[in-house]
Chain A
Amino acid sequence: MRQLRALWARLLGVLRVRHGGAEIGAELESYLQMHIDDNLRAGMAPEEARRQALISLGGLEQAKQAMHERSTLPWIENLKQDLKFAVRQIRRSPGFAVAAVTLLALGIGSVTTVFSLIDTILLKPLPYPEPSRLVIPWNVPPPGVDVGGFAYTPWSPVHFHAIEHETKAFQSIGAFEPGDFNLTEAGDPAMLQGALVSSGFFPALGVQPAVGRFFTQEEDTPGHEREVILSDGIWRSRFHADRSIVNRTIRLNGIPYTVVGVMPRGFSFPRASEMPGDFDFPPQTELWVPIALPAVTPRFTPSELAFIARLQPGVSLEQSQDFMKQYAATIDRLHPEMKGWSASQVLPLQRQVAGDREKPLLLILAAAGVVLLIVCFNVAGLLLTRSLGRQREFTLRAALGAGRERMLRQLLTENLMLAVAGGFFGMVVALAGISLVKDCGPANLPRLQETGPDLRIFAFASGVTLLTGLLFGLAPALGAARVNLVESLKDGGQKSGSGSSRPRLRRALVISQTALALVLVIAAGLLGRTFDRLLAADSGFRPAHLLTFEISLPTTSYPDRDRIARFYQRTLPLLRAVPGVESAAVGEDVPMGGATESGVAIIVGRQPLKDHRYPIVNYTVVSPEYFATLGTRFLSGRDFLDSDVLDAPPAAIINRSFARKYWPGQDPVGERLLIPSQKIPATIVGVVADVRHLSPREQPAPEMFEPYTQNVWPSLTLMHMVLRTRAGVDVLPGARAAIRSVDPAVPITHVATLAALTSDAVAQERFSMLLLGFIGSLALLLAAVGIYGVISYSVGQQTREIGIRMALGAPRRQVFGTIIRRSLSLALLGIGAGVIAALCVGRAFSSYLYGVTASDPLTFLAVAMVLAITALLAGYLPARRAASVDPMQALRSE
């Protein structure tokens, strides 16, 4: 307590040093006078009295100093001095300060921006209570069985019923699957993306509704599931945030549902960006209804069923995995027909949400870190140059008695001040960067909207700033503080031949930053080529001039297949008649529109694969002209015809991968396939090229198509229309009118061109490419600045020498050439080192590439050329300056 009080008084003392100093003087003076008075009274002569007093008192100045140190905090005093001095120094060379601060701000800003992404996606706990206890158990297909290349398969309701009441490992467990709902009130009809969830879903996540309540267990049974919970967004945009919405009835798909609750803002689990790509979850879930899984369900129901669970307190991930294993064994015993299909992998929700983005993000962070390193090199280089210019100042100060430690501290203060300024503007850059990423970042980057400036980001930026300050500031400061008094004074300020060690250090810095820049630019170049190849890749269709939209038929007015089929049969000819439409078709899916259904297909007349397993293939229902409209080639056979109706023999078309895998080297046309839920096998009538569904880089999986007129799949209510249009014609109004003329209650949603869908499918690649491209150009710019700095400095140092040479008859061209060569040789050394480094780093990088190898010679050559040209440009200005030296002036100048 007393110490605190004293500290406070001393802190105040720092603020009023001047005043305090005078007072101390006065007090000591009065002490002295009293002593003299005493001495006089003792009978001394005035002169002697004063002398004796001074002798017995010791040094007046030392006493003042001691008082001063006690009345303030010396280190703060020093700091104040150092800061004042630093400000003065920086004011004297504003160009240097602006350059250094700009570089630092760019470097710190980009690292912080990338970190903020990493922080939200990988590090920040999920916005649910005790998120570490949240897990997602995925159903893993039996080893060796190809389910279309996917890592996980949906759970079956059988699994869920077997596990929903288990409490050994899970406190609560919920099932959920995506579902679309046609809202036909409160404004225009709209398709809302929702989720069907079991009663354990919300308790597992641990989120309370903002208004109202959750579903009860009772409501989660077939026949009672007519309740709905709304998202905050829908509640606000559609229902004016009206709290009395609870217990009101709204119509979804034409069926009345009672609103029981509204979720808090920001809650929209499950989101596509946080789930595996093979599941068809919406970008944002807007409403939740009870899933009400029937007690008895057929095997292999097509579904997207997933589980979310909250672990019991104290139960570890491994224990829950063990538990799931035991449980799989139980199911295998109870349901022998499902043997092997109950294996699971339990993932922490946090890991699931982050997905496989950890490595690419860390790579980008590493790239940004490298740029920051280059920035440090650059600023260190600038400081070195400057400290050479300040040699005399340091010498003088050392000669006047400044200790080495004191000088070091002063220089470090100067450098840290630069760093802090850089950090401040870096934070500004980062804020701009974060909002840019938020606006332009790919939609499938999870939790993007959660990013924002917060304390963690600020702490990170501060830490980086401090580290940067030490990194770029320490070496030059150490060098500068090690002043050799004798040598420097002997020099007498004559700038003789540019000393020894420091220029060499600077050149090493420049070479290494050139090398680092080369690595980054090569990485950006490889990603750019990858992106280019992805866009140019043959995805099995011609995306130009293709328009698609979704049509959702209310189940109330379209309860069965016949009525659905009739709707399309009436609509398609009308669409084809719209001016500008070349062809039109309908399908359950469009390429790049998301994952398809998949199921078992039995090849008639062929033994099942080992273990009684049948091939699992993607399965899509389409109309005639679907392939012609998309521009997908037929490899053999024919398209579906309008005559392929219910009473005609069932027809199927398969893709190339299917044909290759099961009929290698043969034409499968005429073979027959049986879908377990259908009674009559379908005859293969055609083979088409592979069409990619999620991304141009996916491995095509076996797929089969059936005509919508023959299909017995339960739901065809949500279909995608595809229109091939003539260039430059807006056919959408015509298409809308056509559909309205058939049924005005049918909403058209998700209008998009297939070119846009393709571009969305590579959004993540584009994002990485742009990010790395930005970082790469920054590195390139920095390398140029670095080379320019070194060459320009050396030209400045050699003005005299150049003058002498020219006076002795060296032609200007030769001087110019010498300087340019010097700059080029720096760049070449850097390029050489960089190429080696890039070859080494490339291996870590190769899994992100598509269509190019990590050592793509074209990219390497092009980037090396770019760097060499940059070096030429960077060397041009100083070389021209050198060549324009006037010998007379140069010789006279010093």
Chain B
Amino acid sequence: MPDKTDVWQGTLALLVLKTLESMGPQHGYGIARRIEQTSGNRLALNYGTLYPMLLKLEQEGAIASEWGVSDNNRKAKFYRLTRAGRKQLERATQDWQQATAIVARFLSSEEA
């Protein structure tokens, strides 16, 4: 099994927001699973990391939560993206792409 990489905070927010955008309202467990799956099990996420981040996003107004019932009839708290969250996601995506593009260009010029 390859070493699972820890997610660093800045990117975690982006991942959570993106997950909620593509999957719609989702509970914490679902978000964690989805992120792990999408990363091909290369990212490890435990609730010590995930829940404070969800709380932070909620406090900042990017996501909202309410209690609901999961697919297999478990009571769970569902998170959904708010309008502010959508905007934040857009901006964060742009920033991220820009940042990676710069780093990529830097690395390739280094090689050349």
Residues of A within 8 A of B (CB): 2-3, 5-6, 9-10, 24, 26-28, 30-31, 33-35, 37-38, 56-59, 62-63, 66-67, 69-71
In the bound complex, residues from chain A placing their C-beta under 8 Å from that of B60 are 2-3, 5-6
Whether A63 and B48, one on each chain, are in contact in the complex, defined by CB atoms closer than 8 angstroms, is yes
Q: A2-B60, A57-B46, A63-B48 are in contact. List 5 more A-B contacts (CB 8 A).
A: A9-B58, A33-B74, A34-B72, A37-B72, A70-B51
Whether B46 and A63, one on each chain, are in contact in the complex, defined by CB atoms closer than 8 angstroms, is yes
In the bound complex, residues from chain A placing their C-beta under 8 Å from that of B52 are 66-67, 69-70
Given A2-B61, A34-B76: A58 touches B48 (CB 8 Å cut-off): yes
Whether B59 and A9, one on each chain, are in contact in the complex, defined by CB atoms closer than 8 angstroms, is yes
In the bound complex, residues from chain B placing their C-beta under 8 Å from that of A57 are 46-47
Whether A28 and B51, one on each chain, are in contact in the complex, defined by CB atoms closer than 8 angstroms, is yes
Given A63-B46, A66-B48, A66-B51: A34 touches B29 (CB 8 Å cut-off): yes
List 9 interface pairs A-B (beta carbons < 8 Å), by A numbering: A26-B75, A27-B28, A30-B27, A31-B76, A35-B29, A57-B46, A59-B48, A69-B52, A71-B55
Contact partner of B46 (CB less than 8 A), chosen from A6, A56, A69, is: A56
- Kindly list the 4 A-B residue pairs having the minimum CB-CB distance in the complex, ordered from nearest: A9-B59, A6-B59, A70-B52, A34-B29
Of all chain A residues, which has the CB nearest B49? A66
CA distance A594 to B96 in the complex (A): 85
B9 CB to closest chain A CB (Å) equals 12
B53 CB to closest chain A CB (Å) equals 8
In the bound complex, residues from chain B placing their C-beta under 8 Å from that of A34 are 27, 29-30, 70, 72, 74, 76
In the bound complex, residues from chain B placing their C-beta under 8 Å from that of A67 are 51-52, 55
In the bound complex, residues from chain B placing their C-beta under 8 Å from that of A5 are 59-61
In chain B between 1 and 38, which residues have their CB closer than 8 angstroms to a CB of chain A? 27-30, 32-33
B40 CB to closest chain A CB (Å) equals 17
In the bound complex, residues from chain B placing their C-beta under 8 Å from that of A24 are 51
In the bound complex, residues from chain B placing their C-beta under 8 Å from that of A31 are 27-29, 32, 47, 76
In the bound complex, residues from chain B placing their C-beta under 8 Å from that of A37 are 72, 74
Given A63-B48, A66-B51: A30 touches B77 (CB 8 Å cut-off): yes
CA distance A30 to B61 in the complex (A): 23
A517 CB to closest chain B CB (Å) equals 56
In the bound complex, residues from chain B placing their C-beta under 8 Å from that of A28 are 47, 51
CA distance A33 to B71 in the complex (A): 13
In the bound complex, residues from chain A placing their C-beta under 8 Å from that of B83 are none
In the bound complex, residues from chain A placing their C-beta under 8 Å from that of B33 are 38
Of all chain A residues, which has the CB nearest B65? A27
In the bound complex, residues from chain B placing their C-beta under 8 Å from that of A33 are 74
Of all chain B residues, which has the CB nearest A34? B29
In the bound complex, residues from chain A placing their C-beta under 8 Å from that of B27 are 30-31, 34
Q: For chain B, what secondary structure do more than half of its interface residues adopt (helix, strand, loop), or is it mixed?
A: helix
B105 contacts chain A at the CB level, 8 A cutoff: no
Whether B47 and A58, one on each chain, are in contact in the complex, defined by CB atoms closer than 8 angstroms, is yes
CA distance A30 to B30 in the complex (A): 11
CA distance A24 to B51 in the complex (A): 9
Of all chain B residues, which has the CB nearest A8? B59
In the bound complex, residues from chain A placing their C-beta under 8 Å from that of B58 are 9
Among A2, A27, A71, chain B packs the most CB atoms within 10 A around the CB of: A27
Given A58-B47, A62-B48, A63-B46: A30 touches B59 (CB 8 Å cut-off): no
In the bound complex, residues from chain B placing their C-beta under 8 Å from that of A58 are 46-48
Contact partner of B59 (CB less than 8 A), chosen from A10, A27, A62, is: A10
CA distance A213 to B34 in the complex (A): 83
In the bound complex, residues from chain B placing their C-beta under 8 Å from that of A59 are 48
A6 CB to closest chain B CB (Å) equals 4
CA distance A6 to B61 in the complex (A): 8
CA distance A69 to B28 in the complex (A): 18
In chain B between 72 and 94, which residues have their CB closer than 8 angstroms to a CB of chain A? 72, 74-77, 88
CA distance A104 to B58 in the complex (A): 46
CA distance A33 to B29 in the complex (A): 10
In the bound complex, residues from chain B placing their C-beta under 8 Å from that of A35 are 29
CA distance A38 to B37 in the complex (A): 14
In the bound complex, residues from chain B placing their C-beta under 8 Å from that of A70 are 51-52, 55-56
CA distance A27 to B32 in the complex (A): 14
Of all chain B residues, which has the CB nearest A20? B55
A39 CB to closest chain B CB (Å) equals 12
A571 CB to closest chain B CB (Å) equals 90
In the bound complex, residues from chain A placing their C-beta under 8 Å from that of B76 are 27, 30-31, 34
CA distance A63 to B27 in the complex (A): 17
Whether B74 and A30, one on each chain, are in contact in the complex, defined by CB atoms closer than 8 angstroms, is yes
CA distance A27 to B50 in the complex (A): 12
CA distance A66 to B9 in the complex (A): 14
CA distance A26 to B75 in the complex (A): 9
CA distance A63 to B51 in the complex (A): 8
Whether B51 and A27, one on each chain, are in contact in the complex, defined by CB atoms closer than 8 angstroms, is yes
In the bound complex, residues from chain B placing their C-beta under 8 Å from that of A3 are 60
Of all chain A residues, which has the CB nearest B32? A31
CA distance A34 to B32 in the complex (A): 11
Of all chain A residues, which has the CB nearest B76? A30
In the bound complex, residues from chain B placing their C-beta under 8 Å from that of A30 are 27, 29, 70, 74-77
In the bound complex, residues from chain B placing their C-beta under 8 Å from that of A27 are 28, 51, 76-77
Of all chain B residues, which has the CB nearest A35? B29
In the bound complex, residues from chain A placing their C-beta under 8 Å from that of B28 are 27, 31
Of all chain B residues, which has the CB nearest A41? B72
B34 CB to closest chain A CB (Å) equals 13
In the bound complex, residues from chain B placing their C-beta under 8 Å from that of A38 are 33
Of all chain B residues, which has the CB nearest A62? B48
B57-71 toward A: CB 8 Å interface, digit per residue (1/0)?
Answer: 011111000000010
Of all chain A residues, which has the CB nearest B77? A27
CA distance A33 to B62 in the complex (A): 27
CA distance A80 to B55 in the complex (A): 22
CA distance A67 to B27 in the complex (A): 16
In the bound complex, residues from chain A placing their C-beta under 8 Å from that of B75 are 26, 30
B1 CB to closest chain A CB (Å) equals 12
